[in-house]
């Protein structure tokens, strides 16, 4: 099932700021790499930007040769492994993860590091890089997104820690079927208010 979201710019911003949306992997520490899942650009005052938060994930792996496997549908509780086959490196299902709420990716190659990549709604959602042989990446996500106003961020790229520290709005999508995400605040001068985000027109699933 997908959650239909609609970003609406009701701010006073005159700087064509970017709006960054990303997720945090709850199984890891604060120094984890975060991916710019969605970046909204040039959305003027009064304009909107619809997007979809799919409840389904897919997984892919990259090897040290620069190859990437096809994306496989990945549900909570599933485990995958990267193995060397007669045709080359392949990602395949490998039973169940240790935690039913996690997706696990094991590097089962004899040599070479891999990256484990989670995709949502067709875009890179989370990644774990530099996994040595027999190392495992574990992903677990709450049904929440983090959203904030940033600059110089590219969709699909790793977000640096300084930008992450500026984004402090967490929005829960638990039980939601559709909603508007309304941005207010911003603007020039001393009367400028901080940017803020809230949900409107929420339809529960």
Per-residue pLDDT, 30: 59
What is the number of residues in the chain?
A: 205
* Percent of the chain surpassing pLDDT 70: 99
Per-residue pLDDT, 181: 98
CA gap 109, 81 in Å, rounded: 9
Cβ-count burial of 28 within 10 angstroms (0-12 exposed, 13-18 middle, 19+ buried)?
middle
Residue 29, pLDDT above cutoff 70: no
Residue 31, pLDDT above cutoff 70: no
The residue behind tokens 């009701």 is 10
Q: Model confidence at 33, in pLDDT bands (50, 70, 90)?
A: confident
Q: Model confidence at 63, in pLDDT bands (50, 70, 90)?
A: very high
Per-residue pLDDT, 148: 97
Mean residue pLDDT of the chain comes to: 95
pTM: 0.94
Which are the contacts of 53, defined by CB distance < 8 A and separation ≥ 6?
2, 3, 5, 120, 121, 145, 173
The per-residue pLDDT for range 83-122, each reduced to its tens digit, is: 999 999 999 999 999 999 999 999 999 999 999 999 999 9
| Chain centre to alpha carbon of residue 116 | 13
The per-residue pLDDT for range 137-193, each reduced to its tens digit, is: 999 999 999 999 999 999 999 999 899 999 999 999 999 999 999 999 998 888 889
């Amino acid at each position: 099932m997908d959650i239909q979201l609609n970003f609406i710019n009701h701010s006073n911003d005159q700087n064509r700021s970017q709006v960054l949306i990303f997720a945090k992997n709850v199984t890891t520490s604060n120094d984890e790499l975060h991916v710019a899942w969605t970046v909204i650009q040039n959305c003027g005052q009064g304009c909107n930007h619809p997007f979809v938060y799919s409840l389904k994930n897919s997984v892919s792996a990259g090897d040290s040769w620069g190859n990437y496997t096809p994306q496989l549908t990945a549900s909570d509780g599933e485990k995958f492994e990267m193995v060397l086959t007669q045709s080359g490196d392949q990602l395949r299902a490998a039973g169940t993860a240790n935690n039913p709420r996690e997706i696990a990716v094991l590097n089962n190659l004899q040599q070479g590091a891999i990256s484990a990549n989670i995709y949502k709604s067709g875009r890179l959602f989370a990644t774990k890089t530099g996994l040595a042989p027999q190392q495992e990446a574990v992903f677990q996500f709450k049904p929440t997104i983090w959203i904030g106003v940033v600059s110089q961020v590219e969709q699909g790229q790793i977000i640096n820690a300084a930008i992450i520290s500026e984004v402090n709005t967490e929005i829960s999508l638990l039980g939601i079927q559709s909603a508007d995400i309304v941005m207010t605040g911003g603007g020039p001068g001393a009367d400028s208010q901080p940017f803020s985000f809230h949900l409107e027109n929420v339809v529960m699933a």
